[in-house]
Amino acid sequence: MSRVLVTGAAGLLGRFVVDELLQQGHVVRGFDRKAGDADIQWQIGDVTDADAVKATVQGMDAVLHIAAIPNIWSGDGATIMRVNVLGTHNVFNAAEEQGIPRVVFCSSDSVAGYTVREGRMLPPRYAPLDLAHPLNATDPYAVSKVLGEDLARAYALRGMSVVALRTVFVAYPEMFAEIVERAKDPDNYRGPAVGGPSSAGGGPLHHHIDARDLARAFRLALELPMQRGDFERFYLSSNVTLSPEPTLERLERLHGDAVEVRDPECYRQNPFAPLYDLTHARKRLGFVPEYNHRHLLAGLPEFES
């Protein structure tokens, strides 16, 4: 049992992470701008307030840092950089001052640069895309996550053990209607169109991950055997996309032959497999996705369940 601080604990993702930790017997403190519904200790504050962050990390064994501006549509570039980069610095700095050995950082697949057209994204160089692929972030949100990982690695070099989870678009229940609405007319969808908290995301391939799977990944990262100074990164996704087209067909239609297919067998076995190579997450983190939401699209034109 560990005493775990979750930043952003009242948010869409934070609530799932808190529930997962409580189910596994951890003692949880939530830090957010407002209290959530979970029966835990809550401390109210903002990650950009260094003093508030220092106060809330006291007495903790680990920190799961989730609080952030979640995408490029949720704030302008300056706000995203201030909250996501300064906030991350404050969390790591406070954790180090308190001698906390483990921090798990919520990163994003956007660090690879293939997420939103508004960011002038670049096509991936190869598929499946793994940890050796260069980071080609072009929009403020993606850049903030690259810088967040740089901070994470720096504090690992200083003696922490740190995990960065590069998650794809999280398919919360509140997003289901948006996902279905996009599937009805993918080329013309502009969201949020049916009351969701944001547009259906996941980039050109419509990646997604269930919030329960991602919460479990955070718990696995918290419990991962590591030495001080270790820095680990993992791409996380469901085992299928929500795209109407198989992955390689869609990549070819969008980018011609620009994307090298390094493991065609992967896509023969699973035509809707994600762009991201989940092998490392399976072998090292023990993460295997249990859920996907293609069932939401069953019966719609051009979709297979």
Instruction: Report d(CA 282, CA 280) in Å as an integer.
Output: 5
Q: What are the residues facing 170 on neighbouring strands?
A: 209
For the record, the structure tokens of 17 come out as: 């992470």
| Residue 1 burial (10 A CB sphere; 0-12, 13-18, 19+) | exposed
Please tell me the distance from the alpha carbon of residue 113 to that of residue 131, in angstroms, as a whole number: 13
**Alpha-carbon torsion, ordered 216, 222, 223, 229, to 10 deg:** 140
- For the chain, where are the alpha helices, taking DSSP H only? 14-23, 50-57, 77-81, 87-97, 140-157, 176-184, 211-223, 247-255, 264-269, 279-280
The SS3 call for residue 163 is strand
Question: Which residues are marked as active site?
Answer: 141
The pair of structure tokens assigned to 287 is 């993460």
**CA proximity to 226, closest of 101, 42, 121:** 101
Residue 130 structure tokens: 């793994």
**Complete DSSP assignment for 191-253:** SS-SS-SS---STTTT--EEHHHHHHHHHHHHH----TT-EEEEEE--SS---SS-HHHHHHH
